[in-house]
């Protein structure tokens, strides 16, 4: 029996659900409604249009075979009717009717449905600042905003840009302004680090340091109070200062569009997300929902969480389309994987950061590893930094984050662990994880295997280490005479530091037993090498000789360099 499916929202999830359903039930009717006339576009590509990497906004609406996904495209190739510039204002669940209103004329019409899909998305979180209405203030929530920004930039009207928020969109927009256009760009963030709660302070500092090297200025721990200007924005006022701006982009997160769901009595969480089951059904089994307007299950914690990403919307759209046609597809939740490009570097992760894990009550720890991304003898290689978050009692992996070159090597490692996380892997699973090996792509002992081994050693008390932040604190406390900094590298590597610092000592790792008498037993020994590997070996050797007041710098001098600490 043919059905009439009404889909409210035509950006990501809506088109995917509609197209999947029509493939399974080509004899049924689908009507897709959207309050704008920009449908089915890649919103995540907006920063790359602003930067110039994507030359035309229409490219964000085209298929891989260069067809524009407009109303005609959906009618001719998908047999889906699209009604643009029309907002759904009410749903009568008992009568199965949707009331629509044209956004320009105000004319109202009613559509009958057999099943309904709410793909209402999310809206930018407004800060309600004085001056928010000024020209040049944007939220980058749609193609219209992107086009306005790009036009101002290409006309030479923008010399200084201010980004409010150092999350995904904020960092991508900062790069867009500074990289292609050379615009003086400042990022203001209320937290004390970039990507708060997504990555550790160590990785955040490393990522920020790289962006600062590219000319981005960061103002952390500041609250924006006001935007000033005469018609167009010219100043951003915070609790600590004022910053010139020809354009301001506010990236303070998004909130789910769930008002329509609430008004018709569907279950909505306290945080505003529409509640759905694994089949993506709402509390009304004839109404489905997904994408940025819903809450889903966190596959690590088992609790609801909010993950507004285009990748989620597309996967959930296929599940909905299948079930609309009588299938039994499920979406069991997500891990929370992410990646953000920062010039020649990228930050990525999956699962919980250490801070989030602790806040959720886990007895968690993390280890930080810096290692080459392929065989050490292969001519093209780069250092990769990975941090593994572990539940100490169970040794269960809770999350992984990393910083690496802009490419697939680091993201590939994150994705490999992400695929395991729903199955509650332990450190042993990572230690023994099989990875494709060839010197141009990896080391024989892949960095993931080494990371798992490192976590095991830390849990067993063999690798007692600290990260760059803790090392920096110890370094500033070195004058009290209670610390002994021991460089385990060969003498040529250590020589510049020996010449600069009286409290810097050098015994190559292979000479530890031979020169054991030179190492004090009444002071804390801080071991250092290039990446933390040789210093770990030195720690084992010292433990064997009864010298146990020893700590190892995880990531070594490479981590300190990425951190931006110059000793």
Q: How confident is the model at residue 1 (pLDDT cuts 50, 70, 90)?
A: confident
In the predicted model, what is the mean pLDDT of residues 186-193? 96
Q: Give pLDDT tens digits for 419-471.
A: 999 999 999 999 999 999 999 888 899 999 999 999 999 999 989 989 998 99
CB 382 within 8 A of CB 442: no
DSSP track, 281-312: B-SSTTEEE-GGGEEEEBTTT-SEE----HHH
**Three-state DSSP string of 178-212:** HHHHCCEEEEEECCCCCCCCCCCHHHHHHHHHHHH
CB 509 within 8 A of CB 538: yes
What is the chain's alpha carbon radius of gyration, rounded to the nearest angstrom? 27
Q: What is the DSSP letter of 46?
A: H
Question: Looking at domain 137-252, what is its CATH homologous superfamily?
Answer: FAD/NAD(P)-binding domain (3.50.50.60)
- The reported pLDDT for the residue numbered 251 is 93
Matching CATH number, 4-40+53-121+255-324, of 3.50.50.60, 3.20.20.100, 2.60.120.580, 3.40.190.10: 3.50.50.60
The Cα–Cα gap between 378 and 412 comes to 19
Fold of 465-563: Oxidized Rhodanese; domain 1 (3.40.250)
The alpha carbon torsion through 204, 145, 334, 189 (nearest 10 deg) reads 30
Same fold flag, 137-252 and 465-563: no
Q: How confident is the model at residue 73 (pLDDT cuts 50, 70, 90)?
A: confident
pLDDT at 74 over 90: no
Give SS3 for 140: coil
Q: Give pLDDT tens digits for 477-508.
A: 776 678 899 999 999 999 999 999 888 999 99
pTM: predicted TM-score of the whole model, two decimal places: 0.92
- The reported pLDDT for the residue numbered 42 is 80
Fold of 338-459: FAD/NAD(P)-binding domain (3.50.50)
The Cα–Cα gap between 206 and 26 comes to 52
Higher model confidence: residue 479 or residue 513? 513
- The reported pLDDT for the residue numbered 480 is 66
Q: Where are the domains of the chain?
A: 4-40+53-121+255-324, 137-252, 338-459, 465-563
pLDDT at 511 over 90: yes
Tokens at 307, concatenated? 């993950």
How many residues comprise the chain?
567
Report the range out of 107-121, 145-159, 482-496 with the highest average pLDDT.
107-121
The Cα–Cα gap between 321 and 255 comes to 25
pLDDT at 406 over 80: no
């Amino acid at each position: 029996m043919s059905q009439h499916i009404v889909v409210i929202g035509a950006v990501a999830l809506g088109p995917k659900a509609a197209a999947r359903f029509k493939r399974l039930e080509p004899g049924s009717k689908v009507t897709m409604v959207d309050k704008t006339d920009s449908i089915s576009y890649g919103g995540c590509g907006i920063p790359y249009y602003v930067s110039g990497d994507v030359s035309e906004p229409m490219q964000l609406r085209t298929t891989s075979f260069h067809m524009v996904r407009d109303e005609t495209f959906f009618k001719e190739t998908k047999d889906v009717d699209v009604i643009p510039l029309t907002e759904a204002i009410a749903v009568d669940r008992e009568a199965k009717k949707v009331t629509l209103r044209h956004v320009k004329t105000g004319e109202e019409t009613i559509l009958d449905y057999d099943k309904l899909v709410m793909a209402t998305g999310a809206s930018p979180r407004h800060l309600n600042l004085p001056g928010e209405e000024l020209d040049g203030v944007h939220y980058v929530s749609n193609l219209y905003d992107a086009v306005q920004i790009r036009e101002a930039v290409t006309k030479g009207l923008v010399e200084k840009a201010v980004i409010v928020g150092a999350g995904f969109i904020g960092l991508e927009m900062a790069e867009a302004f500074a990289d292609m256009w050379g615009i003086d760009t400042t990022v203001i963030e209320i937290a004390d680090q970039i990507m708060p709660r997504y990555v550790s302070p160590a990785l955040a500092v490393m990522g920020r340091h790289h962006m600062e090297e590219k000319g981005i200025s960061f103002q952390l721990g500041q609250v924006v109070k006001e935007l000033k200007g005469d018609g167009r924005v010219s100043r951003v006022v915070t609790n600590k200062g004022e910053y010139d701006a020809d354009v301001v982009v506010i990236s303070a997160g998004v909130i789910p569009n769930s008002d329509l769901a609430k008004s018709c009595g569907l279950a909505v969480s306290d945080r505003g997300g529409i509640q759905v089951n694994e089949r993506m059904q709402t509390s009304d089994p004839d109404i489905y929902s997904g994408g940025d307007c819903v809450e889903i299950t966190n596959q690590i914690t088992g609790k609801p969480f909010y993950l507004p990403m285009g990748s989620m919307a597309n996967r959930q759209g296929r599940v909905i389309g299948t079930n609309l046609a009588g299938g039994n597809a499920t979406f069991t939740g997500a891990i929370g994987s992410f990646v953000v490009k920062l010039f020649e570097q990228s930050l990525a992760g999956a699962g919980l950061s250490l801070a989030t894990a602790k806040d959720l009550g886990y007895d968690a720890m993390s280890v930080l590893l810096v290692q080459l991304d392929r065989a050490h003898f292969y001519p093209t290689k780069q250092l990769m930094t990975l941090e593994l978050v572990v539940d100490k009692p169970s040794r269960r992996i809770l999350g992984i984050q990393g910083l690496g070159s802009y490419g697939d090597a680091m993201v590939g490692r994150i994705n490999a662990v992400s695929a395991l996380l729903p199955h509650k892997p332990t450190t042993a699973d990572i230690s023994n994880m099989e990875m494709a090996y060839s010197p141009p792509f990896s080391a024989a002992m892949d960095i993931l295997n080494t990371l798992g081994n490192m976590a095991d050693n830390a849990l067993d008390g063999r690798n007692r280490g600290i990260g760059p932040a803790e090392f920096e604190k110890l370094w500033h406390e070195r004058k009290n005479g209670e610390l002994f900094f021991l460089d385990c590298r060969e003498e040529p590597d250590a020589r510049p530091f020996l010449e600069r610092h009286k409290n810097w000592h050098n015994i190559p790792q292979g000479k530890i037993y031979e020169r054991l008498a030179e190492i004090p037993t009444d002071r804390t020994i801080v071991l250092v090498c290039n990446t933390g590997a040789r210093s770990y070996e030195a720690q084992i050797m010292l433990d064997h000789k009864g010298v146990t007041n020893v700590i190892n710098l995880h990531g070594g001098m490479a981590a300190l360099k990425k951190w931006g600490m110059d000793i």
